[in-house]
């Protein structure tokens, strides 16, 4: 019997495992796929280093950076190459994102006055944000990113900033994604200062002189490989999908685990009102059945799986909890990586890449210039590009063949980057239902999920579908779950369901 079973070997599950091991708690991690890491996947092909999924760690959220340092990778963290420019497509022109902005929100007037990304009417409307009254303090209802940005900055700011940038990084619908769940800083800025322009101009810049992102020379899979190597041999079981979980009420005598609680003495029963007051927490209370009919028993169970997988495996244990998890939507995306001779691309590629607003209707979400963004990702006379398609904008994109996706990507970037000739190398990475969508109402749903979890002592959930989407968020939540598991196994009262502060 393992005290802890972790289901899911993405970054949240691995972070949970790492923290449990660091604290001396044995565990087994069950991963359905043939490798660990989830959407983190780096390949080295013909002198190219390609990230098929995310390629960077955000400095502002330090949990990913701190984990790399703990794993001995601190000296290998690299910043993006200058110039650190990002572009937004409008028509057939790439406009640099105005400098001195916070996620597109201006902190200085000059760069936004000079940019040609917005019309003069759009600039005036954005500048008038400082005059827009804030929502009443008593109104704490959720709001979509699109509704918030249109209310404060106007429709043009929503179309050419919020949609491609704020919603685009989540491959989501700007009119459905929750501002409070994904960008609570904006909500608090309006509440405290009455205006985002006023709030961000008053705040000192937190920008790093080396840019906002870090990666590793071999891609982010270096972090996954280091995590796996740091864990006990045999603790990770690959190709082991879980079919269902059964949670049995623990009636084991904490003094003698082989004896049942005395049914004659009702005072010796587990208190059904206070789930934290259950008998011996180290006795097995979860039965985890795999698709191959193997069975694992555990006192604590961490589900670090997509919300829809979590729903499927816990349905027999709690139908209401499964139903709530199943309501969390996901989007599918594909990444098309292509390499070209440097002479075959006319654009200077002087930055990290560009995003494409939905109104441009080019068939892609964004393009990243990996060889310009990171050092040593391609041979000196080559360029390595990535194109992103699908998401909430095009939910059927993954029905296309690899060839059709590549054709679409070339048609979108060819005219704007001046691409001549076919790619030297192509790789297509498909991420089916991999992008969690924290839509309006997500925080209320999470409160309901956490309330139902109180009825299942020893059951914990983590992963991008629940409390945070990005890699640093998933690492932070995974390690926080390990902390809660360790306190649970130590015999303390069940911690509150939310992330500890």
Taking 50 as the threshold, does the pLDDT of residue 254 lie above it?
no
Contact between 335 and 387 under an 8 Å Cβ cutoff? The reply is yes
**pLDDT at residue 263 in the model:** 36
pLDDT grade for 271, boundaries at 50, 70 and 90:
very low
Taking 50 as the threshold, does the pLDDT of residue 105 lie above it?
yes
How many whole angstroms separate alpha carbon 297 and alpha carbon 26? Answer: 13
Nearest to 185 by CA among 303, 306, 104, 271: 104
Residues in Cβ contact with 313 at an 8 Å cutoff, skipping those fewer than 6 apart: 7, 242, 243, 244, 245, 303, 305
Q: 2-36+222-328+440-489: which CATH topology?
A: FAD/NAD(P)-binding domain (3.50.50)
Q: Per CATH, is 330-436 categorized as 3.90.660.20?
A: yes
Output Rg (C-alpha) for the chain, integer angstroms.
24
- Pick from 232-236, 252-256, 482-486: least confident: 252-256
Q: In what order do the strands lie in the sheet with 213-215?
A: 57-58, 213-215, 78-79
Contact between 328 and 467 under an 8 Å Cβ cutoff? The reply is no
Parallel, antiparallel or unpaired: strands 425-436 and 330-341? antiparallel
User: According to CATH, where is 3.50.50.60 located in the chain?
Assistant: 2-36+222-328+440-489
**pLDDT at residue 137 in the model:** 87
Strand positions, DSSP E, 200-347: 213-215, 236-237, 242-247, 286-290, 295-303, 330-341
Token representation of residue 461? 């959930």
- Pick from 30-44, 271-285, 404-418, 459-473: least confident: 271-285
Nearest to 483 by CA among 496, 472, 471, 469: 496
Contact between 73 and 222 under an 8 Å Cβ cutoff? The reply is yes
How many whole angstroms separate alpha carbon 249 and alpha carbon 277? Answer: 12
Token look-up 């259950």 returns 278
pLDDT grade for 255, boundaries at 50, 70 and 90:
very low
Quickly count helices (H) and strands (E) in the chain.
16, 21
Threshold 0.85, pTM exceeds: yes
Taking 60 as the threshold, does the pLDDT of residue 501 lie above it?
no
**pLDDT at residue 99 in the model:** 81
343-374 pLDDT, tens per residue?
999 999 999 999 999 999 999 999 999 999 99
How many whole angstroms separate alpha carbon 303 and alpha carbon 461? Answer: 5
CATH architecture of residue range(s) 99-202: Orthogonal Bundle (1.10)
274-303 pLDDT, tens per residue?
333 333 444 558 999 999 999 999 999 999
- Pick from 79-93, 291-305, 479-493: least confident: 479-493
Q: What is the mean pLDDT of the chain?
A: 90
Nearest to 41 by CA among 306, 334, 327: 334
Taking 60 as the threshold, does the pLDDT of residue 421 lie above it?
yes
Q: Within 13 Å, how many C-alpha atoms sit on residue 326's CB side?
A: 11
Tell me phi and psi for residue 418, to 5 degrees. 70, 45
**pLDDT at residue 274 in the model:** 37
CA 419 to chain centroid: 32
User: According to CATH, where is 1.10.3110.10 located in the chain?
Assistant: 99-202
Strand positions, DSSP E, 232-345: 236-237, 242-247, 286-290, 295-303, 330-341
Contact between 342 and 369 under an 8 Å Cβ cutoff? The reply is no
Q: 67: exposed, middle or buried (C-beta count within 10 Å: 0-12, 13-18, 19+)?
A: buried
Contact between 285 and 247 under an 8 Å Cβ cutoff? The reply is yes
What average pLDDT does the segment 188-210 reach? Answer: 84
What average pLDDT does the segment 108-126 reach? Answer: 91
Taking 70 as the threshold, does the pLDDT of residue 269 lie above it?
no
How many whole angstroms separate alpha carbon 73 and alpha carbon 214? Answer: 12
**pLDDT at residue 248 in the model:** 72
What average pLDDT does the segment 186-203 reach? Answer: 91
Taking 50 as the threshold, does the pLDDT of residue 206 lie above it?
yes
pLDDT grade for 267, boundaries at 50, 70 and 90:
very low
Q: Is 297 strand, coil or helix?
A: strand
**pLDDT at residue 304 in the model:** 98
147-171 pLDDT, tens per residue?
999 999 999 999 999 999 999 999 9
How many whole angstroms separate alpha carbon 13 and alpha carbon 223? Answer: 13
How many whole angstroms separate alpha carbon 472 and alpha carbon 111? Answer: 30
Element (H, E) at 413: helix 402-417
The gap between the terminal CA atoms of the chain, to the nearest Å, is 31
Element (H, E) at 48: strand 48-51
Residues in Cβ contact with 486 at an 8 Å cutoff, skipping those fewer than 6 apart: 20, 23, 25
**pLDDT at residue 201 in the model:** 85
Angle at CA of residue 233, ends 230 and 237, nearest 5°: 105
């Amino acid at each position: 019997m393992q005290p802890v079973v972790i289901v899911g070997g993405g970054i949240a599950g691995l972070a949970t495992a790492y923290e449990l091991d660091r604290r001396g708690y044995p565990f087994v991690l069950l991963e359905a796929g043939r490798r660990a890491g989830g959407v983190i996947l780096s390949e080295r092909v013909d002198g190219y280093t390609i990230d098929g999924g995310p390629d960077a760690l955000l400095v502002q959220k330090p949990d990913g950076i701190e984990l790399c340092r703990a794993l001995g990778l601190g000296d290998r963290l690299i910043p993006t190459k200058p110039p650190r420019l990002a572009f937004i497509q409008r028509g057939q022109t790439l406009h640099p994102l105005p400098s001195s902005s916070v996620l597109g929100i201006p902190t200085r007037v000059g760069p936004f006055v000079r940019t040609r990304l917005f019309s003069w009417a759009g600039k005036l409307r954005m500048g008038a944000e400082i005059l827009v009254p804030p929502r009443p303090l008593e109104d704490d209802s959720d709001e979509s990113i699109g509704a918030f940005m249109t209310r404060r900055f106007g429709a043009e700011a929503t179309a050419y900033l919020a949609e491609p940038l704020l919603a685009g990084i989540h491959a989501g619908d700007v009119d459905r994604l929750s501002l409070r769940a994904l960008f609570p800083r904006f909500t608090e800025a309006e509440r405290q200062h009455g205006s985002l322009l006023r709030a961000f101009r008053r705040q000192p810049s937190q920008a790093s002189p080396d840019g906002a992102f870090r990666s590793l020379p071999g891609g982010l899979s270096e972090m996954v490989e280091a995590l796996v190597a740091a864990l006990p041999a045999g603790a990770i079981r690959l190709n082991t999908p879980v079919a269902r979980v059964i949670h049995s009420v623990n009636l084991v005598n904490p003094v003698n685990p082989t004896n049942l609680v005395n049914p004659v003495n009702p005072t010796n029963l587990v208190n059904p009102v206070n789930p934290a007051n259950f008998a011996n927490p180290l006795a097995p209370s979860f039965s985890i059945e795999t698709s191959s009919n193997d069975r694992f028993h555990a006192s604590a169970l961490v589900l670090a799986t997509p919300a829809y997988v979590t729903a499927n495996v816990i349905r027999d244990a709690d139908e209401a909890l499964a139903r709530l998890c199943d309501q969390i939507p996901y989007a599918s995306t594909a990444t098309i990586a292509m390499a070209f001779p440097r002479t075959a691309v006319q654009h200077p590629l002087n930055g990290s890449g560009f995003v494409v607003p939905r109104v441009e209707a080019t068939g892609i979400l964004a393009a990243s210039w990996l060889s310009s963004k990171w050092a040593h990702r391609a041979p000196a006379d080559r360029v390595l590009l990535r194109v992103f398609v699908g998401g909430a904008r095009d939910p059927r994109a993954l029905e296309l063949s690899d060839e059709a996706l590549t054709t679409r990507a070339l048609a979108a970037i060819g005219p704007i980057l001046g691409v001549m000739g076919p790619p030297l190398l192509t790789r297509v990475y498909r991420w089916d239902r991999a992008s969690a969508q924290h839509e309006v109402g997500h925080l209320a749903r999470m409160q309901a999920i956490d309330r139902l979890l109180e009825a299942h002592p020893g059951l914990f959930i983590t992963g991008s579908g629940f409390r945070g989407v990005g890699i640093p968020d998933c690492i932070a939540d995974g390690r926080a779950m390990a902390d809660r598991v360790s306190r649970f196994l130590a015999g303390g009262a069940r911690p509150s369901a939310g992330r500890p502060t």
